[in-house]
Chain A
Amino acid sequence: MTERWAAFWRWGGLVARLVVGGVWIVAGWLKLPDPAESVRAVRAYDLLPEAIVPTVGHGLPILEIIIGVMLVAGAGTRVAAAVSFLLQVAFIIGIASAWARGLKIDCGCFGGGGASASASVTDQYPWDIARDTGLAALSLLLFLFPRTALSADRLWTLDPDPDPDHDEEFV
């Protein structure tokens, strides 16, 4: 890790945490009110056995919100970023496979979804995949470099900023 990257990532990483965490919180929050709908959205992808579909549908919005809150707060950043990365990769696989099989499903990414009333929904797949790829890349960076400015993790880090000249600024 070069010094310039470290200096950049202190604040760049904070922005990444807020962006990825914010998206997770919104995505999870919109799915909370209708648990039946999120179960149908999971089932629509037709990738998981029916025995675990309801559990995944019920748990996913909660997991998304926790990961989002942890990233925004910068608490347990490395663990949250790892889960965030794995979820995004799973979503990319789900959307790509729905696309490849010609399934017409609204991705359900931000609530709603599972099934679609319109024919043009397949046009959305490339955009959904592009967005999730970007979020996965930011998550991976946060996993590799979890130390960023204004994070709760600084409270239990012995040397938040190894360069003493910068110590005051970021605590």
Chain B
Amino acid sequence: MSKKGRDSSRRVKEMQAAQRRAEQRRRNLIVGGVAVAVIAVIVGIGIAVQSSRDEAGTVLVPTGTVDKFGIPRGDTSAPVTMDLYEDFQCPVCKMYEGYLADTYTKNIDAGTLRIVYRPMAFLNDYSSRALETAACVLSQDGSAAYLKLHDLLFQNQPSEQGPWPSDADLADLAAQAGASGSAVADCQAADTYKGWVKAATDAASKAHVVGTPTMFIDGKEVAIVGKNQQDAIDLVQQTIDTAAAGASSTG
């Protein structure tokens, strides 16, 4: 082959290679575009499906609550209010319930403190079932029975790994707290407060509660988690005393 012939065949090869590169770029653009479109469409559909599954449905608020999701304990006229977020499945909640029970009772009996329990159910299915049962008791039998069940639920707390009490076991516990067991069973079976439990948990999330137990005294967070019993008692008592002193000097 002459030099001229070799040159022209090389040029032809280069042109073919350039065409293939251009074709490949075109294909890459198409594949990339299709990939982006597929992602967008599926995510769009997925958002619609997930948000429809996330509807709370009708939220029936049990009677006896304070601003829909709180259960009060103590005198309404008490100068200091504690908001306490708890999950019935939460072992740390159980621990601090034990540590602080006497402190709570002492200050409530003295007329200084009012606790508003703000239950939430974010750990597992048992969290939700326990709180639904408690809501049934609150609505049917009042806050005294609810508060008794609250203590019983923590005393009989199952491990986070199970096995968990059935709804019937929870109804038995409710009966021990003074509720009518069969009425509670009906209330559970009808999923009466399922929507409320979800709404209560979302309300806690919107209040920036990112863990349990979370305690607020007169709206200020009190960091008890991680403290030993004596330190927790001292912190809570001091905070209550300071808040009470502030309330009496201004009011």
Interface residues, chain A, with chain B CB atoms under 8 Å away: 32, 35-37, 39-40, 43-44, 46, 50, 54-55, 57-59, 61-63, 66-67, 70, 75-76, 78-80, 83, 103-105, 114-119, 121, 153, 156-159
Query: What chain A residues lie within 8 Å of B53 (beta carbons)?
Result: 35
A147 to B45, CA, bound (A): 30
Q: Whole-angstrom distance from the CB of B99 to the nearest CB of chain A?
A: 14
Contacts of B42 in A (CB 8 A): 62, 66
Binds A, one of B26-34, B70-78, B104-112, B185-193: B26-34
Q: Please tell me if B38 contacts chain A, counting CB pairs below 8 Å.
A: yes
- The verdict on B205 contacting chain A, using a C-beta distance below 8 Å, is yes
List A contacts of B231 (CB < 8 A).
none
Interface size class of B (residues with CB under 8 A): 35 or more
11 further contact pairs, Cβ within 8 A, besides A58-B51, A119-B92: A37-B122, A59-B43, A59-B50, A62-B42, A66-B38, A66-B42, A66-B43, A76-B31, A76-B35, A116-B210, A117-B92
The closest CB in chain B to the CB of A36 belongs to B54
- Give chain A nearest CB distance to B18 CB in angstroms: 12
In the complex, which residues of chain B have a beta carbon less than 8 angstroms from the beta carbon of A158? 20, 23-24, 27
Complex A-B, nearest 6 residue pairs according to Cβ-Cβ distance, in ascending order:
A76-B35, A62-B46, A58-B50, A79-B35, A35-B54, A35-B50
The CA-CA distance from A40 to B28 in the complex, in Å, is 38
Verify B27–A115 contact, CB threshold 8 A.
no
Instruction: Identify the B interface with A (CB < 8 A).
Output: 20, 23-24, 27-28, 31-32, 34-36, 38-39, 42-43, 46-47, 50-51, 53-54, 87, 89-93, 122-123, 198, 201-202, 205-206, 208-212, 225-226
**A32 CA to B46 CA, complexed, in Å:** 10
Q: Total contacts A to B, CB within 8 angstroms? A: 112
Asked if residues B50 and A79 are in contact (CB atoms below 8 Å), the reply is no
Complex-state Cα separation, A57 to B90, whole angstroms: 24
Contact B211 A115 (CB under 8 A): yes
Contacts of A40 in B (CB 8 A): 122, 201-202, 205
Asked if A62 contacts B198 (CB within 8 A), the reply is: no
Contact A159 B50 (CB under 8 A): no
Give the residue name and chain of the A residue nearest to B204 (CB): A115
A119 touches which of B35, B206, B225 (Cβ 8 Å): B225
Pairwise interchain contact B211-A105, C-beta atoms closer than 8 A: yes
CB-based contact B205/A63 at 8 Å? no
B46 pairs with A58, CB closer than 8 A: yes
| Nearest CB in chain A: distance from B132 CB, A | 15
Q: Shortest CB–CB separation between residue B133 and chain A, in angstroms? A: 20
Min C-beta distance of A3 to chain B, whole Å: 19
Q: How far is B210's CA from A44's CA once the two chains are assembled, in angstroms?
A: 6
